[in-house]
Amino acid sequence: MEPIQVQAIRKILEDELRPAMGCTEPIAVAYTAALARELLGVFPQQLTVRCSGNIIKNVKGATVPNSGGEKGIDTAAILGAVSGRSDLELEVLSVIGPSELEQAMELRRQGMCQYFLAEGVPNLYIEITASAGPDTAVVAIQDSHTNLVKKEKNGQVLYKKEPDPQQDTSALAQQYLDVHSILEYAETESLPYLKQQLLQQCDCNWAIAQEGLSRPYGASVGRTLCQSGNASDWRISCCAAAAAGSDARMNGCALPVVINSGSGNQGITVSVPVIAYARSQNCSEEQLFCALAVSNLLAIHQKKYIGKLSACCGAISAASAAGAAIAWLQGCSEQEVAWCLTNTLAIAGGILCDGAKASCAAKIAAGLQSAWLSLDLVHQGYRFPAGEGLVDASPEATIQNFGYAAREGMRDTDRVILHLMTGETDLSCP
């Protein structure tokens, strides 16, 4: 592999795999509010949030960490302003204690924050105006959860970010990632580097999975899987551990998660099943970290076509990547690894994303169970052939087809979901 490609893939891993507390959309709102407070220079009297529909959708049902079980854009924004720690980025709410929470809840009762849908913006967009007296500060992030694109104070533009393809992770993924290159990279990258980049994901995501298995959160999907199935079967234990991590994360657990493609649930899905399988089979440390590289990069490879947020559930692309990584651990060929991934998309591709919430854990479980079926089909020498739905002649074409359907074909679906969730759609028969 050429050195320039190795460096590009390293940058992709370093940019995409980062720690976050709780669901990344409310945390991104909190982070933006902390930036706005910082720019304003004093504690704001009023916050006005304008954000894309996908942000509204994903904040609506997820519990904000360290909020005492509360949800909502106003909760996240006010807590972020109270925290004032933009340097912590997606762990901005880790410093919230009882006194800060009490202050934030009183400000929310007073109506400190208003929020509105922003039209004609990218799927991931948050703009917050903080005001105190005659002074205002405006901060916006776009396309990824910490990508600051605008800073204004009292009408004066202080910062505006222009696109830079050399630094853009999505552009690098478009240029350098495909199934063959991902497997080649994972098999040739040095173990010390992979361990350095992936150990935090391994430790953090496993820890929240164990928390979700040990205590009831939300619908307790992970615990239910353990109780209703044979927990000694790796298919059940891997699925249960991943679902349990989401149970905890979607329902207020403050433990950090190392994300993938901007999502903690996807970070859990690409990592926890692979860790559980590798440990159940006594795989070596090198095998584990190579497989985690395969899983993470295959998920990022798919999301470059879908986008960070869409109407298509990201747990499915993440589950297909995890299943492919486990196929790799089982000694499958490159072709069989690709078959496993594309079989999963053929089975479960297109499951709707109707916001971040407790049922995400069940969607993770459904995606992984589809991946196990896909793997069984591969072991029987079967793959869904080209021409069956969106399945194409090559894995790359299939991935592109599903990505295009999610990104372009489901735009109206995304709009309808948002209107249904906000009660703006008339469901009466014509």
3-state secondary structure 47-62: EEEEECHHHHHHHHCC
pLDDT digits (tens, 9 = 90+) for 91-115: 999 999 999 999 999 999 999 999 9
Mean pLDDT lowest for which of 81-85, 103-107, 238-242?
A: 81-85
What pLDDT does residue 326 have? Answer: 98
Distance of CA 13 to the CA centre of its chain: 14
- Integer Cα distance of 404 and 401 in angstroms: 5
For residue 94, the tally of other CB atoms under 10 A from its CB is: 16
Percentage of residues in the chain with pLDDT exceeding 90? 79
Largest CA distance in the chain: 70
| 297 in Cβ contact with 186 (< 8 Å) | yes
Mean pLDDT lowest for which of 166-175, 228-237, 271-280, 390-399?
A: 166-175
Residue 429 has pLDDT above 50, yes or no: no
What pLDDT does residue 355 have? Answer: 86
What pLDDT does residue 164 have? Answer: 65
pTM, full prediction: 0.91
| DSSP string covering 103-166 | HHHHHHHTT-EEEEEPSSS-SSEEEEEEEETTEEEEEEEESSTT-EEEEEETTEEEEEPPP-TT
Give the burial class of 278: count Cβ atoms within 10 A of its Cβ; 0-12 exposed, 13-18 middle, 19 or more buried. buried
Q: Which one-letter DSSP state was computed for residue 21?
A: E
- Integer Cα distance of 278 and 287 in angstroms: 8
pLDDT digits (tens, 9 = 90+) for 274-329: 999 999 999 999 999 999 999 999 999 999 899 888 888 999 999 999 999 999 99
Averaged over 48-59, what is the pLDDT? 91
Residue type, 143: D
Residue 426 has pLDDT above 70, yes or no: no
What pLDDT does residue 390 have? Answer: 94
For residue 352, the tally of other CB atoms under 10 A from its CB is: 14
